[in-house]
Amino acid sequence: MKPHATAAAIDARRRQAAQKLEQVEKAIGQLRRERGRLTVRAIAQRAGVSATFLYENSNARALVSNAVDGSRTRQVQATQAEHEQIEASWRERALNAEAELGRTQKEVFAQRQQIGELMGNLRDLDQMVPGESVQALTSENITLKRRVQQLTREHRTLRERLEGARSNNRFADKRIADLEAQVLARLPHQPPRGN
């Protein structure tokens, strides 16, 4: 083979490699805009080059490596932000349920105290008033007892809701931990660098 033919072949091969690198860059940009999954295979397919070229050409390998690493970092950040939002939502629900439970407990205590005072007054009046007043007080007492029962049911319902919210929060924490483990498992392990 003649020296000028060899030089021409080398020059043609360099132009071809440069053209393929441009295609790889273009493919990476398209996949990013489309929010496609950035993998070696997807980039090679979109660029119309072989995966072997991407592994063997150092410039192409660097482009693909940077793109894949950047994509994984963005995915991890997006997943983490989503988990933080879910966790904040469950925490807020649990705090709201606890606040409502506290308010209901105070109201039940106040109602019980009022019932106690009224029962004492009823006993005092029972000894001093005629039958009609006793009947009115008895009906009021029955009404107050029903109100106490209603408040007790509401208290029980709120306590169940609080337990449900706490259970959901524990489930969300477990799910977040599982998803974080999955994300970490998908990250490539960097081989130790040799000499």
pLDDT by residue (tens digit) across 66-115? 887 777 777 777 778 888 888 888 888 888 888 888 899 999 999 988 88
Query: 108-142, pLDDT tens digit by residue?
Result: 999 988 888 888 877 776 566 566 677 777 888 99
Listed range (51-65, 98-112, 146-160) with the worst mean pLDDT: 51-65
pTM, full prediction:
0.36
Are 111 and 143 in contact by the 8 Å Cβ rule? The answer is: no
| Spatial distance between the Cα atoms of 179 and 83, rounded to a whole number of angstroms | 9
- Tokens for 23, please give them: 């295609």
Interval 52-66 mean pLDDT: 82
Using DSSP's 3-state secondary structure scheme, residue 104 falls into helix
| Spatial distance between the Cα atoms of 68 and 44, rounded to a whole number of angstroms | 13
